[in-house]
């Protein structure tokens, strides 16, 4: 009886998640909000790398951990099938036709962010790792982000 209830609860949860994932507007808002959060949380790391603000280990480690977890989620849940439209978006349709290249651009950023995370405890290493971030953003935006919303 108890098991049966759990099975039903699990099924209900799975179908709720599936619904949330398949609603284009939710995916688009998730990815746009995610990209904004990414930018905001990279700000302090950039400022430390450039020497504009003093290095602060606690902040650096917290931000680096956060952007890593964030982008795994954004890429997993923000670009599902059908989300090329349904809300104002700058995502190019090529995302859904050039899946392998788009995935490679994601992996590039995730790899760079992993290095940032691994080096966040050391200011010199952090500075080096942050040097690769902009290129990873640009590498994807140049191919997959439109100049205006459509």
For residue 89, the minimal CB distance to ligand HEC (Å) is 4
Nearer to ligand HEC, 51 or 111 (CB): 111
The answer to whether 45 and 126 have CB atoms below 8 angstroms apart is yes
CB of 73 to ligand HEC, least distance (A): 14
Which residues of the shown chain bind ligand HEC in the complex (CB under 6 A)? 28, 31-32, 35-36, 38-39, 42, 89-91, 105-106, 109, 133, 136-137, 140-141, 144-145
Contact in structure between 144 and 94 (CB atoms under 8 Å): yes
Q: Which is nearer to ligand HEC, 64 or 144 (CB)?
A: 144
DSSP 8-class letter at 86: S
Q: Which residues contact 82 (CB under 8 A, 6 or more apart)?
A: 22, 24, 27
- Shortest separation between residue 84's beta carbon and ligand HEC, angstroms: 9
Kindly tell me the sign of the dihedral angle through the C-alpha atoms of 75, 134, 32, 101. negative
Q: Closer to ligand HEC by CB, 46 or 122: give it.
A: 46
Rounded Cα distance between 121 and 128, Å, is 13
Closer residue to ligand HEC (CB): 11 or 126? 126
SS3 145: strand
User: Least distance to ligand HEC from the beta carbon of 54, Å?
Assistant: 23
């Amino acid at each position: 009886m108890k098991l049966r209830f759990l099975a039903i609860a699990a099924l209900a949860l799975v179908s709720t998640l599936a619904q949330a994932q398949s609603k284009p507007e939710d995916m688009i808002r998730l990815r746009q909000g995610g990209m904004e959060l990414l930018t905001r949380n990279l700000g302090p790391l950039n400022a430390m790398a450039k020497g504009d603000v003093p290095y602060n280990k606690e902040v650096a480690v917290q931000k680096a951990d956060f952007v890593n977890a964030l982008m795994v989620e954004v890429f997993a849940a923000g670009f599902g099938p059908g989300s090329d439209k349904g809300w104002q978006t700058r995502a190019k349709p090529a995302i859904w036709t050039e899946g392998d290249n788009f995935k490679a651009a994601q992996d590039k950023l995730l790899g760079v962010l992993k290095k940032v995370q691994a080096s966040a405890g050391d200011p010199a290493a952090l500075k080096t790792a942050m040097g690769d971030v902009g290129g990873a953003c640009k590498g994807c935006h140049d191919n997959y982000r439109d100049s205006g919303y459509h």
